[in-house]
Amino acid sequence: MPRDRNGEFEPKLIPKYQRDISGIEEKVISLYARGMSTRDIHDQLNDLYGIEVSAEMVSKITDKILPQVKEWQSRPLNPIYPFVFMDCIHYKVREDGRILNRAAYIVLGVTVGGGTKIS
C-alpha cells in the first residue's frame, strides 16, 4: 500500500487493509452487462484505475454470472399476456472473422393482474 508522511493516503479502488476485490468484479460485470467486450473492459480498467486485469481474468469474472443468466432465461412464463411491447436494437458484431448485424430484443409483457415480465 502506498504511504505518505502523514498517513493520509486513502485508496479509491480497494479500501485500506482490504484484500477483497469484489468491487472490481462488480464493475467488470456491470461493464460486461452494458455490452463491452472483455478486451474493452481490460482497457477501461487500465485507463480509469491504472490496474492491469487480463482479458482472461475478465472472462473468468463474467463466467461466474452465466448460471444466473441461464436460470433467468429458463424461468417460467405466464401462458397469457394481454399486452406485449417489443423493441430491438441492432449491433455489429465480429463473428468468425466477419462483421455481422445482430439484433438484441427486449419484450415487456403485462400480466392479467397488471404485473410485468421482461425478456
The label of the residue with cell 484505475 reads 49
Confidence at residue 27, expressed as pLDDT on a 0 to 100 scale: 83
Closest alpha carbon to 84 in 117, 54, 43, 113 = 117
What is the pTM assigned to this prediction? 0.48
Query: Hey, what's the cell of 86?
Result: 417489443
Q: Which CATH class is domain 1-73?
A: mainly alpha
In the chain, domain spans = 1-73, 76-119
Binned average pLDDT, 10 residues per bin, the chain of 119 residues = 65 59 76 82 82 81 85 86 91 85 89 79
CA atoms within 13 A on the CB side of 68: 6
Strand order of the β-sheet with 83-95 is 83-95, 98-110, 116-118
Confidence at residue 1, expressed as pLDDT on a 0 to 100 scale: 47
Confidence at residue 85, expressed as pLDDT on a 0 to 100 scale: 92
49-75 tens-digit pLDDT: 777 777 788 888 888 888 888 898 888
